[in-house]
Structure 1
């Protein structure tokens, strides 16, 4: 992928951009194989390659500059805005809306947040595109000061971007290096973005997590479903279930499926998808994955885990090790924590693994492992 920002030294986020893509993918698989070398009989499936560019369905863009001349991109080491509105990682549908959003900032006179001075209001634009080309826009503000002005200019923005279906304001009053705050103000009647994958409609609310690479996310869920269908368990838990991707893909016939997620927004989205699909043996619950497992009276045949980068941790690994669970499907975005968790579960053997390149041009990747109790 050719990138003028990288060539000019304006952005170095893509740490592998100077390497040919086949070399990137091979390096990721080698890295993962090395970490899991303690399983010599592990069957490695062909890696899932991504498009090299235009694969991101979500852009978290810092707003800098001034209301008359805003930048949409990142901040430099001095806290000044660097415009990256032509970033080649973003899907074409996202790139196309950045100039319109810059015009909206100017017309509504939305003052960007000045990090060094700790003044101003608009911190980030978070834009997500569905597989159908519809959009969700979240404006991260320091306070409610500009909400009325945004409401007043919103009809014009919706007219300029008819694909824009969900708009909200996120309030982030603190001066710290996190993208968003806890409070969300919905500005449109529609509250969810429909993400159609593999014949299922997943619903994404403003504060719900969803994989940033739609094509690889679809392959991730297909792979998980294939392994579950082959094993045909009667009961499945999907821990760290997000908006229910794995749980909904693995629902079938008389199988009981439970999804556990800490985010109420994500659980509400998953429940909506389940109702629409008529899946009456799937239920979702808000809560901590480890606490749920430790308190459960009965254990499932198979557990799916898709934790954040820190992994599932010692306590949940220990519960799985001592449980009667026969199979685990572990989807990981950090092979280092994956290897550590597997070492804490010696009763399970890694049977199959597959690298899925969710994040081209960087060293990050997703890996799925099928574990079987021995």
Structure 2
């Protein structure tokens, strides 16, 4: 991939820009295999899954800079001034055309960008998410409510200029800190969710819901998870750190037992609301007969989880998709001592993954696969299927 912004040293976020993509992918594969080698003896590595090296991002997280009527959307330089990257080549088709029009709308509305050096202004970020159906969610991150009334009054104009936008919201982030979002979200449109269609499963994303940046590779990751669930055919599936329910929904739709019990646990209430809506849609479509439910909870609270997998009588599967720090010693110890027969671990940090696998020696890695969510960077996503060694664990 060639990038004018990188060549001009305006943006160096893509640290591997200029390295042939086949080399990038090979280097990532070798890295994850080498780090996991001590804890994955005998594992079968499936071919790495990669999508296109450009035009893959479904999200645009844009720092707003410049001045009213002459905004920049992109990043800030070291001095805090805006660097315009509206034509970044990573945005997927549809989003790449939407970003410049959003920048033009900011100019047309005369919104005041937030100036980091002086700590003045209002608009800090614009966040865009684009769906496979061509719809989009647009979020304005503001310092205060000063522009909320203006945005509400100009909403018809905004939707006329940006007809693909389904959801518009304002997020309030009043603090002068290097954080993107605040706690308060004000939805301006009647619609408050963006449907993300992944085959026969639809995820309903609310404004602050997390979803993978690369829709195509995320779809492949979920497809792999569904295949592993179908092969194990568990009676009970427990999806920890379930977010908006991606893995749990795939487990509910996987071939095998029609009466499978699937439970998702997630600490963020808004994500659970989204997951429950997706579960209702999946059930009404007839794509699943599973007993599927989601609850707000801490995935690392092993006391609250005790006994959940034992209901499966040694025919259960636990999905863990933790943040970069991994699942930690307490949850790893609980899984090691549990009766679950399979664990599906999806990780964005192979170092913490290796530590966690070392803490679960009777859960042996059977298959693993690299999913390249972030071409042009060293970031990676690895999925591993673990299986209880014969005779190990509780009976």
Q: TM-score, normalised by structure 2?
A: 0.93
SS of equivalent to 1:290: coil
SS of equivalent to 1:251: helix
Q: Among 266, 273, 276, which residue is 2:271 paired with?
A: 266
- Cα shift readout 1:93-127 (whole Å, capped 9, x = no counterpart): 12212222122212222111101111101000000
Quote the Cα distance in structure 2 between the aligned partners of 1:180 and 1:116. Answer: 19
- Once structures 1 and 2 are overlaid, which stretch shifts more, 224-233 or 152-161? 152-161
- Cα shift readout 1:221-251 (whole Å, capped 9, x = no counterpart): 0000100100100000011111111101111
Alignment of 1:23-34 (within 5 A): 23-34=23-34
Q: Aligned-residue CA RMSD in angstroms?
A: 1.1
Alignment of 1:56-135 (within 5 A): 56-135=57-136
Quote the Cα distance in structure 1 between the aligned partners of 2:282 and 2:67. Answer: 46
2:304 aligned with 1:287: no
- Cα shift readout 1:19-57 (whole Å, capped 9, x = no counterpart): 100110111110000011112311000000111001000
Q: Among 294, 318, 321, which residue is 2:336 paired with?
A: 321
Alignment of 1:129-144 (within 5 A): 129-144=130-145
Alignment of 1:77-226 (within 5 A): 77-226=78-227
Residue 277 (structure 1) shift: 1.4
Check whether the contact 1:74–1:84 (CA below 8 A) recurs between aligned residues. Answer: yes
Residue 294 (structure 1) shift: 4.3
SS of equivalent to 2:62: strand
**Which residue number corresponds to residue 311 of structure 1?**
326
5+ residue gaps, structure 1, are none
Q: Among 298, 307, 316, which residue is 1:297 paired with?
A: 307
Alignment of 1:332-347 (within 5 A): 332-347=347-362
Quote the Cα distance in structure 2 between the aligned partners of 1:292 and 1:320. Answer: 9
2:12 aligned with 1:12: yes
Residue 168 (structure 1) shift: 0.3
Residue 258 (structure 1) shift: 0.3
Residue 292 (structure 1) shift: 5.5
Residue 67 (structure 1) shift: 1.2
Quote the Cα distance in structure 2 between the aligned partners of 1:31 and 1:297. Answer: 37
Quote the Cα distance in structure 2 between the aligned partners of 1:319 and 1:199. Answer: 33
Residue 372 (structure 1) shift: 1.1
**Which residue number corresponds to residue 3 of structure 1?**
3
2:376 aligned with 1:361: yes
SS of equivalent to 1:317: helix
Residue 11 (structure 1) shift: 0.4
2:282 aligned with 1:277: yes
Q: TM-score, normalised by structure 1?
A: 0.98
Check whether the contact 1:168–1:184 (CA below 8 A) recurs between aligned residues. Answer: yes
Residue 162 (structure 1) shift: 1.0
Check whether the contact 1:267–1:284 (CA below 8 A) recurs between aligned residues. Answer: yes
Number of equivalences: 374
Residue 10 (structure 1) shift: 0.4
Quote the Cα distance in structure 2 between the aligned partners of 1:32 and 1:102. Answer: 39
5+ residue gaps, structure 2, are 311-315, 390-395
Check whether the contact 2:41–2:365 (CA below 8 A) recurs between aligned residues. Answer: no
Quote the Cα distance in structure 2 between the aligned partners of 1:136 and 1:272. Answer: 18
- Once structures 1 and 2 are overlaid, which stretch shifts more, 127-136 or 272-281? 272-281
- Cα shift readout 1:165-207 (whole Å, capped 9, x = no counterpart): 0000000011111110011000000010000002211100001
Residue 291 (structure 1) shift: 1.2
SS of equivalent to 2:344: strand
Structure 1 runs of 4+ with >4 Å offset: 292-295
Quote the Cα distance in structure 1 between the aligned partners of 2:267 and 2:87. Answer: 35
TM-aligned CA distance change 1:320 to 1:294, over 3 Å: farther
